[in-house]
Structure formats: structure tokens, C-alpha cells
Amino acid sequence: MRTLESFVQGSWHSPEAGGVVTNHAVTGDPVASVSSNGIDFAATTRYARDVGGPTLRAMTFHERASLLKALGQHLFAEKEMLYDLSTATGATRADSWIDIEGGAGVLLSYASKGRRELPNSTVLVDGEPEILARDGSFIAAHIATPLNGVAVQVNAFNFPCWGALEKLAPALLAGVPAIIKPATQTAFLTEAMVRLIVESGILPDGALQLVCGGLGDLFDHLGGQDLIGFTGSAATAALLRAHPAVVERSARFNAEADSLNAAILGSESEPGSPEFDLFVREVVAEMTVKAGQKCTSIRRAMVPKQHLEAATDAVATALGEVRVGDPADPETSMGALVSTAQRAEVLDAITALSGSTDVVIDSCVFHDVDAERGAFLAPTLLRSNNPADPNVHTTEAFGPVSTIMGYTDPADAISLTALGGGSLVASIYTADPVEAHVLATGIAAHHGRIHVVDASVADSSTGHGSPLPSLVHGGPGRAGGGEEMGGLRGVRHHLQTTAVQGSPDMLTAVTGEWMPGSTRDLDSGHPFKLNFENLDIGTAIQTDSRTVTLDDIVNFAESTGDHFYAHMDEEAAAASPIFGGRVAHGYLVLSLAAGLFVWPDPGPVLANYGIDRCRFAKPTYPGDTLTVFLTCKRKTLRAGTGYGEVAWDAQVLNQDKDVVAAYDVLTMVANQPGVNGAPDESTESGGKA
């Protein structure tokens, strides 16, 4: 038996004495002793704030994303050691895959999102600037910057790796250090994973601390710059969210709690239809993966009344084929619960459900294990003969247990689903798009995620029970009212959004992005001749002018095939209330603008990879004369590639100085030779001097 250590204030801490002993889920033997005795929690939170926070905040989003990538790769490389330990939680290899590789996958997913969707900067500019004075001299922008505190992350026992990593990834990407507190029962696996992370040396000091055991007075040291992320039971969530740190000092609190998730078989999904079979397959999988100890497991299986008999038989038959036994045996399809105490809780919940349900199946053969010493339990299917009874919608049996029930019509299915009081996820099995719309919109307000399944996604669906890093994980009401992951949404929870008002030049300085009305530097030559590092925000060009002729319009129409009446039909265009005459194609304006601003020779601008925010503000008529202002708006270094991305603010003006087109031109611009991985030999010097 190991005495688990905590990693606090930069070193491993052994508890002074005592500790809760946790047991092997399969053999019942003691595995670990867990205690946080002797930890100075005030110093632990200070260490995160004073050591981890400043280092993380000094890094750009991309630099933090690189940490996540390195960490994810490291955990993938070391995963077998975690798999070996994971068996003691009762998990099969497939269960552990979700936990271990799923967790490392979240790190990689956030690493990639961070590099693709966030700036290579310490400040996130949120949305477009607001013009507050008529003449543009006073504007505002929203910026998002990391909270200056610590993210305390309290996790449930069921996913000791994934549960920790799905909270850690968005926090670190945001620039906020974390203190992880795993559930005592499976803390030995989280401790092993954190040991791998610490030994890798990838994270800066103070970015990650681990508390195995209770949190002592830690919450007393939290305030308005801190976050608490909780996953666990509704009862513990209620206790923690009432702490003065939350209600008096406004620490941000996010809870992921109990959830009686539903699966709804559509009314036209007859027995024998692909949707019926997919429903049965998923209910069985959700009952048996992780022995049903998943927050997203299907607890309520709802079927049209006329199919209740057939669906019950099909699920029961499939459950009868599940092989329950030693999770280390590759033949095993369902392992053990995490502990005999957890099994006792599940059995209590089954007893509580028995008042309003009948047992359909609750026995099985346990292969090659002592089912009493280990925390084994047969998959248990219950059937409700009174689905309106709230008991089946509110009693959570956190194990391989589900209740099947009949509904009369879609409205009934919607109201039964809502009796769950808010859930993480529901699945709908229908081939009928109208029914999918009615059910999905009917239950959406009660859910964080809805999974619509028909035959076309049989092989590609990611599954009812799989929260994905790019999608919101959380749910209203009973599910905790929180939200995790969801791509950058999860990062934003760790940032403070601030509206900053001032002159355009000041806002450019604050945000690091060129703001409309800000000074342009028109004296540095053609900006396309400058390498990435010699290009400043605000470096700009005012191009020569170009008059648009009717021939230009006709030639463009002929070469592209775009003969839209507004360009080609004199009479119809004159009758148009928008144009009042023939106008140039918007795409012709863009092309002419490019002809005005590009530098033709090979040089630092490697490619134009797109445009953003394009708007044609006014029509361009034959005879109009166009000029372009092209201004370096935003720079994003792509580390190690030899180039950076540059977004240019493009304003196309006519002879009256009216903006006819406005957009961002997106380019890749080479670094100076030898810098950031750029080749030493270059065709262009690109220097400003």
C-alpha cells in the first residue's frame, strides 16, 4: 500500500500521519493511504498566485498551447504505466482508454485550438471595436486577460485522469495556475499522472499543484480572482457553492453534478429499424462502460409505449451478453465499480427506485473474480410502469443501472425528460427530421448537449456519453448549472473581460491590434517588402488610384461567368432600388484592390490565405476611382515555421472618400533569414533599415 503524496509549493509532501485507506476495486486489497495532513493551504494558494500565475501570464496563448501539446505527447508516451494502475479502479482497458488517452487528447485538442483560434499574445481582443464618438476620436474595445488567482479543481472519482486534464487544459491555456484535488478513492491514479507531469519538467513552477486528501481551509484563502471547478454529487456542490469564498468574495464557481440523462427512441423508430438498434446498442453501452459510473450515462431510456415491450426485451437480451469480470482480462466487457462502498450506494439507489419500477434483469455470471470482495454488480435494467412518478427521474444510481419507460407522444417525452431537472446530455434516435426538431428544441433548455442519431451517423457518431473538448460539457439545474470545455468557451471562463475606452491610438497600444482611426505609418515603403519582424502594427500603404470602367465589368463577367443583372443588364440595374444603374461586381472591386496593393516580386509575403469580415459598403459604378488603404492590423508569429500571420485592414475608398469595401486580408509573412526557423538564405533582405 502506498501513502500518497501531494505536490505543493514546488515539492512532494508526505502526510504527517493517518489517512483514508482505499482499496483495490477487484481484489479488495488496500491500495493507498490518502491524507493532506500538514499542508499549509495559505502558502499553497500563495505559491500558485505568486510563482505560477506571473510566469504563465507572461507567456502568450501560443506559448501556453505549446506546453499543453508537450504535456499531451508526454502522457501518451507514458500511458502504459497509467493503464497498469487503472485496473485497480475497476476499469477495463477500454474504460481506461477514455480516461487516460481521452485526457491526454483533451490537452492536444486545446493545444491545437489555442494555436489556431487564439492570438500569439497575452491579450485576447474580444470582438470588433465600438465607435463612441461621431468623428471616431473616442472608441472602445473589449479585452480578455487571465484572472490573477488560482483555479482550484475538485474532481469526482470516476475519471481520475480525464477529469483532471479537462479542467487543467483550459485553465493553463488561459494563463491561470491550478490546484487539483482528486477524489480520495482514485487519487492514486491522479497522483501517478501528476508525478509524470512534474518529472517531465514541462510546466513552469507553480503552474500545477496537487492535493491528495481533504482541502482543509483552502477555500478560506480564495477570493474574486480565483475559480473553483467542481465535479461530483449535487450535495457536495451545494455545500461548496455556499462557501463565503463564493457568496461573499465572488470566487467563480462552476459545478458539474448529478445528471439523469435520457435517451429517447423516436415514435417512428420501429423494432428492426436502424435507429431502434442504435438506441439499444447505446443504452447497453452507457450502462456498462465504466460500469455505468459516468456522469453522462443513460439513466432513463424512453420509448414509444407501443415499443416498450420490444425495446425492453432487446436491451435485456443485449445486457445478458455483457461479460462481467476481471477488468484486466481482455475478454471482459464490464469491470467492477470503484469500491464496495460505491456498490452499496448503488444498491441503496436501486432499492429507492424499486417502489416505482420492476426489475427486468439484475443478475449475471461474474467471470474469474470474487464478486463479493471486488466491487462487482450485475447490469440492472429497471422498468417503470408509472413514468410520471418523479422517483425515476430524480434517484441517481451511479452504476450499471438504467430505467426504461414508455411515453405516449413527443410532448409526453419532452415533459418526462424535463422531470430530470436538468441534465448533461440526451440522445434522440429518429430518422424523422421533423421529430428531431420537435424533440431537440423541446428538451434543449434542460440540457448542455443533445445527440441526434440516425442510420447515417451509425459509424461516425462520437457517442452519447463522450464529452468532447470542442463541445460544451455541463448542464442546467440538477446537472450543476455549469459549463466546461466547449472549445474556447472553457478558456474564457478563466479570463476577465474588460471594456477599454480611449483614443484609437491608445486602444492600439493597449490591445496590440490596429484600431480604426489610429495613426498609420505611411513612410516605411511598401509593407509587402518587410519581413515579419520589421513590420509594425500600423505600417500601411496608400495605393495609387484606379478608375473602374464598363469594360472592366464586362470583361470580369465574361471571364468568370457572373452575369448577375446588376452588372450586366442596364435596364434592370437602373430599376433596382439598391443600385440605380450598373455596378461593378464586389469581387471585381476586391480584385482591383489587390491589383493596387500587392507587390509583384517574390518577397516576404508568402501567400494570401483568406479574407475576413468582408463587407461591400457602397456600390461601385463605372467611372468611380478607387484607392486602397492597407494597414498592418494584427501579427501572429507561428513559432518555428519561419513565418507569421499578418492580418491587414483593407479599406477601399472611392473618389468621394466613401468606403466601398472593407475587410481583413490574411497573409503569411516570412521571418528574417535565420529567424524562427526561416532559411538562412533568402531572396529578399526584407530589412526596414
Catalytic residues: 256, 295
Q: Which is nearer to ligand NAP, 158 or 273 (CB)?
A: 158
Q: Does 238 bind ligand NAP (CB under 6 A)?
A: no
**Cα dihedral 577→578→583→589 (10° resolution):** 180
Q: Does 424 bind ligand NAP (CB under 6 A)?
A: yes
- Decide: 52 and 63 in contact? Cβ < 8 Å: no
**Cα dihedral 58→63→64→69 (10° resolution):** -160
Binding residue (CB under 6 A) for ligand NAP from 56, 144, 152, 154:
154
DSSP letter for 641, please: T
Under DSSP, is residue 611 helix (H, G, I), strand (E, B) or coil? strand
Q: Does 77 bind ligand NAP (CB under 6 A)?
A: no
Distance between CA atoms of residues 327 and 312, nearest Å: 27
In the complex, minimum distance from the CB of residue 260 to ligand NAP, in angstroms, rounded to a whole number = 9
Q: Which is nearer to ligand NAP, 115 or 473 (CB)?
A: 473
Q: Which is nearer to ligand NAP, 218 or 265 (CB)?
A: 218
Binding residue (CB under 6 A) for ligand NAP from 99, 396, 533, 649:
396
Q: Does 256 bind ligand NAP (CB under 6 A)?
A: yes
Distance between CA atoms of residues 126 and 138, nearest Å: 18
In the complex, minimum distance from the CB of residue 183 to ligand NAP, in angstroms, rounded to a whole number = 4
Binding residue (CB under 6 A) for ligand NAP from 68, 75, 183, 436:
183
- Over the window 356 to 395, marking each residue x when it contacts ligand NAP by CB under 6 A and - when it does not, the resulting string is ----------------------------------------
Q: Does 158 bind ligand NAP (CB under 6 A)?
A: yes
Q: Which window, 84-92, 252-260, 266-274, 643-651, contacts ligand NAP (CB under 6 A)?
A: 252-260
Q: Does 398 bind ligand NAP (CB under 6 A)?
A: yes
What element of type H or E holds 573?
Answer: helix 570-575
DSSP letter for 447, please: E
By beta carbon distance, the residue nearest ligand NAP is 232
Binding residue (CB under 6 A) for ligand NAP from 115, 181, 567, 634:
181
Binding residue (CB under 6 A) for ligand NAP from 122, 145, 148, 233:
233
- By CB under 6 A, how many residues form the interface with ligand NAP? 26
Under DSSP, is residue 501 helix (H, G, I), strand (E, B) or coil? strand
What string of DSSP letters covers 327-384?
TTSTT-SB---S-HHHHHHHHHHHHHHHTTEEEEE---PEETS-TTTTT----EEEEE
Give the CA distances from residue 428 to residues 273, 425, 433, 453, in Å, rounded to whole numbers and listed in that order. 14, 10, 11, 6
Distance between CA atoms of residues 486 and 501, nearest Å: 30
Distance between CA atoms of residues 448 and 647, nearest Å: 35
Binding residue (CB under 6 A) for ligand NAP from 73, 121, 148, 236:
236
Q: Does 156 bind ligand NAP (CB under 6 A)?
A: yes
Q: Does 184 bind ligand NAP (CB under 6 A)?
A: yes
Give the CA distances from residue 168 to residues 23, 67, 232, 520, 578, in Å, rounded to whole numbers and listed in that order. 27, 12, 16, 41, 53
All three cell numbers of 636 = 501572429
Per CB under 6 A, contacts with ligand NAP among 290-319 are 295
In the complex, minimum distance from the CB of residue 159 to ligand NAP, in angstroms, rounded to a whole number = 7
What element of type H or E holds 412?
Answer: helix 410-418
Q: Which is nearer to ligand NAP, 215 or 661 (CB)?
A: 215
Enumerate residues 6+ apart whose C-beta is below 8 A from 673.
Answer: 679, 680, 681, 682
Q: Does 453 bind ligand NAP (CB under 6 A)?
A: no
Nearest Cα neighbor of 511 from 137, 118, 174, 142 is 142
Binding positions for ligand NAP, rule: CB under 6 A: 154-158, 181, 183-185, 215, 231-233, 236, 239-240, 256-259, 295, 396, 398, 424, 479-480
